[in-house]
Amino acid sequence: MSLRDVLVDELRDLYSAENQLVKALPKMAKGSSSPDLKTIFTTHLEETKGQVERLKQIFQQLEEKPTGEFCKGMEGLVAEGQEQLENDDEGALKDVAILGAALRVEHYEIAGYTAAIAIARQLGEDEVVSLLTETLNEEQQASEKVLSQAEPLFEEASADEEEEDDEELDDEEEDVEVVAAPKAKKKAATAKR
């Protein structure tokens, strides 16, 4: 096995990973409540389709086939994301969980492309390096965009929580009024005298 074979294996693994994501990203967009998060996922879906094409271009250049590997790592990450999507929770807290799954996916891709770029550079495959670097930049930007949603989602989640607390408090106040009502009447009666 040569270093070139290692590169081809790595690239096939990435090709499999990207194709799995073409299927998974629409589900993540559909399953999240935040419009911003939805937009990030749908935008990244289009980028991901471009990344698949970029990999095809690389394989042509290397005169190799893109198929033959299945990325089990991405399969696991997608399965974990699916668990978050099937979670009964709704709203901001569920979105935070989806965000965590998405961030894992992006960082896994970043690791894969970083390794492939290092090997391609060692082999003097400059064109391959430059194509892979375009994708790596997109993955890094996607990861930053996903992470940028954390703060707004935390705020939304705590606002939802306060709303729930207020509702609970209203219910408690109603209970108190019912109990306190006869006393108040008594007081009013005393005041009249």
109 binds Fe ion per the rule CB under 5 A? yes
Three-state SS annotation for 137-152: HHHHHHHHHHHHCHHH
13 binds Fe ion per the rule CB under 5 A? no
Distance of CA 107 to the CA centre of its chain: 11
Please report how close the Cβ of residue 38 comes to Fe ion at its closest, in angstroms: 16
- What SS3 state is found at 63? coil
For Fe ion, which residue of 10, 95, 125, 139 counts as binding (CB under 5 A)? 139
Beta strands in 10-99 (DSSP E): none
Which pair of structure tokens corresponds to residue 6? 């290692």
What is d(CA 70, CA 73) in angstroms, rounded to the nearest whole number? 9
Q: Are the CB atoms for 142 and 106 separated by under 8 Å?
A: yes
Please report how close the Cβ of residue 51 comes to Fe ion at its closest, in angstroms: 5
Taking residues 21 to 50 in sequence order and writing x for each that binds Fe ion by CB under 5 A, - otherwise, the string is ---------------------------x--
Between residues 78 and 142, which has the closer beta carbon with respect to Fe ion?
A: 142
Between residues 93 and 110, which has the closer beta carbon with respect to Fe ion?
A: 110
Please report how close the Cβ of residue 108 comes to Fe ion at its closest, in angstroms: 9
Within 10 A of 190 (CB to CB), how many other CB atoms are there? 8
Which residues are near Fe ion by CB under 5 A? 18, 48, 51, 106, 109, 139, 142
